[in-house]
Each structure stands twice: as structure tokens, then as C-alpha cells.
Structure 1
Amino acid sequence: MSAPTQTTGAPPDVTPSGTVGARALTGKLGPVAIVFMVVAAAAPLTVVGGAAPLGILLGNGVGFPALYALSGVILLCFSVGLAAMTREVPRPGAFFSFVGYGLGRRPGLAAAYLALLTYTTIQVSVYGYVGFILSGTMASLGLPVLPWWLWALVVAAVVGVLGYRHIDLSSKVLGVLLVGEVGIVLAVVAGVLVTGGAEGLSAAPFEPSTVMSGSPAIGLMFAIAAFIGFEATAIFRDEARDPERTIPRATYGAVIGIAIFYTLASWGLVMAWGPGHVVDVAAADPGAMIVTTTAKYLGTAGEVVVQVLLVTSMLACVLSFHNVITRYQHTMSNAGLLPSGVGAVHAKHLSPYASSLVQTATSVLLVGLFAVLGLDPVLQVFTWFAGVATLAIAILMAVTSLAVIVWFRRSRGRTRRWNTLVAPALGLLGLAVAAVAIVANFPLLVGDVDASGAQRFGLVSAVLLAVVVLCPLVGWVQATALRRRRPQTYARITDAIG
């Protein structure tokens, strides 16, 4: 293999074979492949089986399905601005690049660190959950009882191997797993439709009085959290077949598909048990609700299938987020913001293998730390860090919407008001409201309650909220230091190569 031309002054990387490899990622991913990867990150079956019952129980009860539709509208408005920015900024950094171009290099680097926090925390939270599920499942089969963290490390190893290889392999694996997840949920919904449900089919979940009952703000938190991952389409820009068309189509397809699927699936859950009983069923055992619902409408065979697919759903989720994180790190390395070696691209697999190894090591270290601290894999690892990710992504998307508005107001480029002002402004408003609601209810989201069950801003809430503030602050400080000491690197914050 001959050495390619070095790009924009970035240092070459040495591949394991000793040859010099290009630092730019390449590929021919189409919109469908990218949609598979980002929708897999949203973990459809895990959301329907875990988040939806909690949204029904802790949120607005029977009216929870409508909040998926509402979230879809808010995020679709956000996507319009994101797609417009994608055409203007031909960079793969997504939030990192867009905020940098719109609001400046320091906010851009702050956004990069907040994005890394978002995807790392959501990934490690799922490691806790999948470790718990696998531990219980294997024990039920009569196998030796192993701690959750050991199973989590096994999954991390599998993800590490797939992430080390070319992105096409991950997209194929994620595609197969996603089809299985969606298929079993749609089969349950079909069973509900055929039988007419427990109390007959109705539009009760979408009646205004029902939607506004209970705690809709808490319900909105769970609904927004279910979409985490769809916005990462832009990070695959360098590996897309035709970025100018592929990325916008993948973004719209992902958010619309997720919104329709979750709305339909959660409506099916409500109809399966009836508006008069669904909250009681969710309260009895929210984690097992999808399993018992499947058993009721598809029998024992369906119950076994859904239990297996719950595990593969979480595997798909962590693999997808692994791919996203490695590409953020790769882009930051090529901008001189992380060590140069992190940006290395494998000569054979054409993957950001060095970044993948770093991310695998990070996951292993965090799982090990949580094991040493004795954290509960569900009540603490999963709940706490999913809460952090939900707040961080709402802030990140709101800031990105603002960056889109500012960029197009300042530039003399595209000036279509709907794409560059109205839709981003609506997305900004909706996301800002969601972020405020999340902060106000953050103790409940992370389980920081007193003996009576009332939420309180205690030590757990304070520490986790501080992390959300400190991570972007690190990026801001780094950018400030670079501006003084390494102005050329500072300038590359908005000129990162892929």
C-alpha cells in the first residue's frame, strides 16, 4: 500500500502493519445503513420494555404515548436546522462542528466534551443494564451465577471487536438486530389489534385531558431520552455515499421512524391492558411489562424471543454509541484537540481503530470502577447515568439549534426562513423547556429521594449535575488555552478534518 498524501498538516498515523495510513474515514453508507445505526442506538425494544412502562407509571399515565409524538415534532424541527447546517458545514463533527461555526470555537469545543459525556454515560448506563439482564438470564438457565460487571465486560469486548472493524460490519450487525427488535414489537401490537385489546381499542391516550394528567413533564423526560442517538447521523458524514443527500435523509428518516414506532408501540401497551388497568400493571413490575405483555398476546414462544431480543437490543445500543464516540474522538484528534494517535485509521479495516481501542478501555475502566464502588447496575449505574445523558443531550441539541440560527443570520448563504430560523427556533424552544423540566425533576430521574419518596437535591443530584457543567467547562478552558498558546490548533476547532 502506497502512502497517501497527508491532509491539512495533520500528522500521518502508523498502522499495525507499519505502513502510513490516511487519517480520513471513507465508506459508502447509504441513508438506510445510517438509519439502522442511529435507530439501533435508540434501542427500540429496550425503550418499549423499560422506558415506556416508567413513563406510564411516573409520567402522565395513559396519555404517555402522545408525548412520543410531541417529542417527535420537537426533534423534527431540530432536525430541519441540523440538515440545513450539514449542507453548509462539510465536516463530520456534528455538534462539535456546528456549534463551533455558529457560536464560536470555545462553545464548539465545550459542545464536543458535552457530546462525549452524553454518549459515554448513556453507553455505560446500558452496560449496567445488560450486565444485570445477562446475569439473571444465565442464572435462570442453571448456569453459574456471575456478577453483572463480568457480563458487562464480555459485552464490552464484543463491542470492541466490532468497533475495531470497518463500519460496514457494524451496520450489518445492527441492521439484523434492529429488524428483530422492531419485528417482535410490531407482532405484539398486531396481536393487540386482532384481539381488540383488554378494553377495546380507543384513542384515549391522545385526548388532551389525558395527555395533561399526572406528571407530563416527567413523561416528556422519558420520551426525549428515548430518541438519544438519532442526531448522530452527521458524525458518519465521511463514511456516507453522498453526504449532501444521505445525511439529511437519514436524519429525517430516523426521527420520523422513531416517533411513529414509539407512539404506536406505547399505544399498543396501553391497549393491551386497557386504560383502566395499564398503570397498575406498570406499577406491579415495570421491567417485566413487555415480557408479560408478549406472553399474553404471543404465548410462551413470543416470551422467549422477546427476552433474547432484549439482550441483543442492548448490544446494538452500546455498539452504536461506541461507533459514535469513536468518531467524535477521531474528529477531535484530527483537529489537534486530543492526542494525534487517537485519530489513526486502520490500513485494512479503514476504521478509527485507535479511537475504538480508547473507547473500549474507557468502558472497561468505568465498569470496573462501578463494580469496585458496589453500585447497583440498574438503580444506580443505569438510572443515574441515563439521567445525566438525558439532560446533556437536551442542552446539546438546544445549543445546536441556537448555533444554526446564529450561523444563518450572520452568513449570506441559504436564507430559507423555515429551514434556518422558524424550525430551529421551535426546536430550541421545545428543547429548552425539556431541559428545564429535566433539571427540575432531576432527583426523581436519578432516584435521589428521601425516606418518604419525595425528591430532593441531595449529594447524588449535586454530583451528577456538576459533571454536566464541568465537562463543557473543560472544553471551554482548553479552547482558551489553545487560543493563547497554539493559535493554529485553535483555528482548526472549526476546521477539523474527517
Structure 2
Amino acid sequence: MSIAAGHRIRTAPASAPEESMTKLESTGVEGAAPRTLTGSLGVTAIVFMVVAAASPLTVIGGAAPLGILLGNGVGFPALYAISAVILLLFSVGLAAMSRHIPKPGAFFTYVGYGLGRSTGLAAAWVAMLTYTTIQVSVYGYVGYILSYTLQTYTGVTLPWWLFALLTIALVGVLGYRHIDLSSKVLGVLLVAEVGIVLLLVGAVVISGGAEGLSLAPFEPSNVASGSPGVGLMFAIAAFIGFEATAIFRDEARDPNKTIPRATYAAVIGIGVFYTLSSWGLVMAWGPSNIVAEAAADPGSLILRTMSQYLGATGEIITNVLLITSMFACVLSFHNVVTRYQHSMSNAGLLPDRLGGVHHRHLSPHVSSLAQTVTAAVLIAVFALFQLDPVLAVFTWFAGVATLAIALLMALTSIAVIVYFVKTKKDGRVWNTIIAPGLGFVGLVLSAVLIVAYFPIMVGDVDAAGTPVFGALSWFLLLLIVVFPLFGYLQAAWIKARRPEAYAKLTDTIAG
């Protein structure tokens, strides 16, 4: 068996108690293929992976204009800061769990240890819904941008879904190979897109903006204006992926230190960058003009801003980086989903083959192929129903993903508190009770606001613009109910048909 230099497959005795949550042996396949991922990713590499999932330029160029237009207008930048504080509190408990539960499954693993096997399985399927929908939503957006760019510069018109499928294929190739390759690609793209946005902010500050520099976006009256629930949805959506640091545990160097540090660095870095960048966007046009400019064409707002402050060259560079930013985003989410599937397979929740590791690339290659096919099929279905790639595919499914992740993180916060209260493995009250508790409150309030304004996001409003829960809103919200319900049903089935496998799902919490 050929193993890449600097890496080796880690194995553990089947009786090791700490392995049973993520490694169920299957008859006839034991020893047939490596089941555990390995690597030497450091803090920087993991931060690149998860921040790339947040896709800085896509957020500032795509989500921020929509948050300003559909959300709370001038006050939208403040929601990034609010989201960062809530998620930082949540991260304290997440980091504490990562030290005591050495498993790469993240949410579903932690919920399983804290709240029991059945709830852990339910959480696993909510996580799958979250990362699959957010990934597919960005495929829709990148398909649109590529189609629009081709038409703008060449006059040739090709359907968005064709570009989406081509992107899926390229992401699939990189996802099939070793994680180090993906992290290098993401690192280069991330530095470039962050650099161009900071250059824009610098130009705005030096010029003084359209109406002078001010703190108008942080004034309470502006923060509470419009539809703050929709704005909060876009703000929290910008952070999706930061929590995936724990998923790369098996591929991290010194994970007990690397994972917590990477988690804190990702949240703080994302929060500061988005708050500063969106503030710069508002200042570029002025508080009295930004909503009108976003309404004129939210998709091109960042390009028009770049053209005004950095010239035609800046606009062209940004257009290119916007495309690569979205590519980096879907590549990162692809890596996250494949590792969730890998962990779920090794826990006996998905077909055994999905837990295999490539003998040379040391990647979850079968899981990667499965996710590539899933994304391609979903895009084909959306194309068949002629859904708009931005107003439908991107907006609808980003909304589903955001609400699902907020609820999942709230559940994980409770699991953290329960786990440490029961086991008393960590005596730090702030890390195990207070911070997770405050994070839970913030996440629940965020979820309530998102649900209240959900119809506006999907276009379910009456003639007066009042949100109305129509068929589309209920269908999308129902997904967040159906997936965890399936997890509970699966748990019941495993408990009845495979009691030994069910007993191995956790070691410390009785089902």
C-alpha cells in the first residue's frame, strides 16, 4: 500500500472505547481499507479551509447587498458584529468539547455524547441538510455569475446550470484528492479576495466616502430598522462553516491545541472582516444612498463600487476573484460534507463504503464522489424546474441552511452544558456553562427572528408587502423538521434491529 510522504494511516484496537462513536466495525470489511483520515494541518491551514467556506468576497459582493436591501438597510453591518459575539460564545463550549471528545464528527458527535444517541442522529441529519443546501445554493450563484460574465464579455449566452455542473466536476476532482491540496488552493484564493476587499475599504477611508465617514451603521435606530430578521439570516449565513474546524480533527497537527485556536481565529477573523468591509461598502455610497444603490442591482453593487474607487482594473480583478471566491466556497463546503458523511459512515449511519479512505490521497474519496453526484442531481432538478439561480436556488436554500445551523448550534450548546454537568470532566464554569448558555440564548433568539421574517426572504408576501406563510415557506421550513425526524426514526430502527451497533454509538451517555 502506497502512503504519501509524511503521512501514515492511524489504526486503533477495535476495543478502544474512545473509537466506538465514530468507528463501527462491519462484518467482512474489517482491515479491507483504511477508515481513519490523517494529516498534519496546522491552525492556518484549517482557518483557511473554514474561512474560505465563508467566502469573504461572495459575502461582501452577494450577501451583504441583499442584507442591506432586504434586511435592515444602513444598519446591516452591525449584524455581523452581533453574530460574531453570539458565535464566539458558542465557540467556547465547542472548543471545550473538542478537547474532551477526540472525534471528528463535530455537532452530531457532541450532541450524541451530551443528549443521547437518538438526538445525536437527529443532529447528524440536520448537519447534512445544512451543508448540502448551503453548498447547492452557492453552486446556483456561481453558475449565474459565470453565465453572466461570459455573456457580458463575449455576447455568448449559455445556461447557468451548465456552469454549475462544470464547477461541481472541478470541485469533485479536488475533493477526491488529499486535503493538503485543497487547503493550498483555498489559501491562495482566500488571500487574494480578502486583499482586494481591504484595498477597497482603504480607498474609501482615504477618499472619505460619498458622505463622509460615520458610525451610522451601528446606531440602534438603524440596526432595528427594516427587516432585521432577514438581515440577521444573511449575517449568520456568512459564518456557516467556521464550526467545521472540529471535522478536520483527524487531519490536524496536535488537534487539542489546533482545533480550539482555529475555531476562535475563524470566528474573530470573519466577524472583524465582514463588519469592517460592509461598513466600507455603506460608506462608499453614503448612508442615504446605499439602499437605493443596492436596489438598482444588488448583484453588481460590489463591481460598481470597485469601478468607482479602484477603477476599471479593480472591477475586472474583482469580477475574476468573485468567481474564484465562490469556487473556494463550494470546495470548502464539499470537504466539510464529505467528512460529515465519512464520520456518519464510520458510526454506522450511512453505507459502509462512504467511510473508506483512499490509499494514496488519504481522502474520503468515496464520500467525495457521493457528494459530487448528489450536488449534480440537485442542480439538474433545479434546472428542470427552471428555478432562478439567485432569487430561488441561492436565496431559498441559504435561508434553510442558516435556520438549520442556528438551531443545530443551539442544540449543541445545550449538549455541551449537559455533558459537562454530568461528567464533571471540566471545572471551568465559563467554558462549560455560562458561555454556552449565553450562546444558546443568542442562537434561539436569532432563529425566532429568522422564522418570523422567513416569508420575506422567499417572496411570500401579500400586496402590502406583509410576510405571509405560504406553501413555499412551509415546504422549506418543513425540511428542517423532516431531517431530524428521519434521524430519530433511524435511531429507533438501529436500536430494534442492531442493538449492539446502537449501544456503540456513544460510550458515556445511556440511550
Q: Indicate the residue corresponding to 1:223 in structure 2.
A: 235
Q: Indicate the residue corresponding to 2:162 in structure 1.
A: 150
Tell me, yes or no, if the aligned pair for 1:13 and 1:343 is still in contact at 8 Å: no
Q: Using the alignment, how far apart are the partners of 2:345 and 2:41 within structure 1? A: 23
Matched, 1:67 2:79: yes
Give the 3 Å change call, closer, same or farther, for CA 12–355 of structure 1 in structure 2.
Answer: farther
Matched, 1:46 2:61: no
Shift of 1:280: 1.5
Q: Using the alignment, how far apart are the partners of 2:27 and 2:136 within structure 1? A: 32
Q: Indicate the residue corresponding to 1:482 in structure 2.
A: 494
Q: Using the alignment, how far apart are the partners of 1:71 and 1:143 within structure 2? A: 41
Tell me, yes or no, if the aligned pair for 2:230 and 2:454 is still in contact at 8 Å: no
Tell me, yes or no, if the aligned pair for 2:38 and 2:251 is still in contact at 8 Å: yes
Give the 3 Å change call, closer, same or farther, for CA 229–5 of structure 1 in structure 2.
Answer: closer
Q: Using the alignment, how far apart are the partners of 1:370 and 1:241 within structure 2? A: 40
Matched, 1:363 2:375: yes
Give the 3 Å change call, closer, same or farther, for CA 33–13 of structure 1 in structure 2.
Answer: farther
Matches within 5 A, 1:338-357: 338-357=350-369
TM-score with structure 2 setting the length? 0.93
Q: 1:270 aligns with which of 282, 286, 292?
A: 282
Tell me, yes or no, if the aligned pair for 2:56 and 2:194 is still in contact at 8 Å: yes
Spell out, residue by residue over 1:145-188, the C-alpha distance to the aligned partner (whole angstroms, 9 max, x if none). Answer: 21111110000000000000000000000001111110110010
Identity %: 67
Give the 3 Å change call, closer, same or farther, for CA 460–24 of structure 1 in structure 2.
Answer: same
- Greater CA drift, 53-62 or 290-299: 53-62
Q: Using the alignment, how far apart are the partners of 1:91 and 1:189 within structure 2? A: 40
Matches within 5 A, 1:79-90: 79-90=91-102
Q: Indicate the residue corresponding to 1:10 in structure 2.
A: 25
Matched, 1:384 2:396: yes
Tell me, yes or no, if the aligned pair for 1:4 and 1:21 is still in contact at 8 Å: no
Q: Indicate the residue corresponding to 2:484 in structure 1.
A: 472
Q: Using the alignment, how far apart are the partners of 1:62 and 1:253 within structure 2? A: 27
Give the 3 Å change call, closer, same or farther, for CA 4–211 of structure 1 in structure 2.
Answer: closer
Q: 2:255 aligns with which of 243, 256, 280?
A: 243
Unaligned runs of 5+ in 2: 3-8, 15-23
User: Matched residue of 1:441: which SS?
Assistant: helix
Q: Indicate the residue corresponding to 2:121 in structure 1.
A: 109
Matches within 5 A, 1:326-337: 326-337=338-349
Tell me, yes or no, if the aligned pair for 2:92 and 2:436 is still in contact at 8 Å: yes
Q: Indicate the residue corresponding to 2:299 in structure 1.
A: 287
Q: Using the alignment, how far apart are the partners of 2:364 and 2:188 within structure 1? A: 23
Tell me, yes or no, if the aligned pair for 1:191 and 1:297 is still in contact at 8 Å: yes
Q: Indicate the residue corresponding to 1:139 in structure 2.
A: 151
Spell out, residue by residue over 1:275-300, the C-alpha distance to the aligned partner (whole angstroms, 9 max, x if none). Answer: 12112111211111111111010000
Shift of 1:211: 2.1
Q: Using the alignment, how far apart are the partners of 2:222 and 2:120 within structure 1? A: 41
- Greater CA drift, 120-129 or 377-386: 377-386
Matched, 1:119 2:131: yes
User: Matched residue of 2:213: which SS?
Assistant: coil
Tell me, yes or no, if the aligned pair for 1:383 and 1:447 is still in contact at 8 Å: no
Q: 2:309 aligns with which of 294, 297, 310?
A: 297
- Greater CA drift, 142-151 or 173-182: 142-151
Q: Using the alignment, how far apart are the partners of 1:27 and 1:350 within structure 2? A: 8
Give the 3 Å change call, closer, same or farther, for CA 242–193 of structure 1 in structure 2.
Answer: same
Spell out, residue by residue over 1:60-86, the C-alpha distance to the aligned partner (whole angstroms, 9 max, x if none). Answer: 222211111111000000000000011
Q: 1:428 aligns with which of 428, 440, 458?
A: 440
Cα RMSD (Å): 1.8
Which amino acid in 2 is paired with 1:10?
Answer: E
Tell me, yes or no, if the aligned pair for 1:14 and 1:344 is still in contact at 8 Å: no
User: Matched residue of 1:454: which SS?
Assistant: coil
Q: Indicate the residue corresponding to 2:419 in structure 1.
A: 407
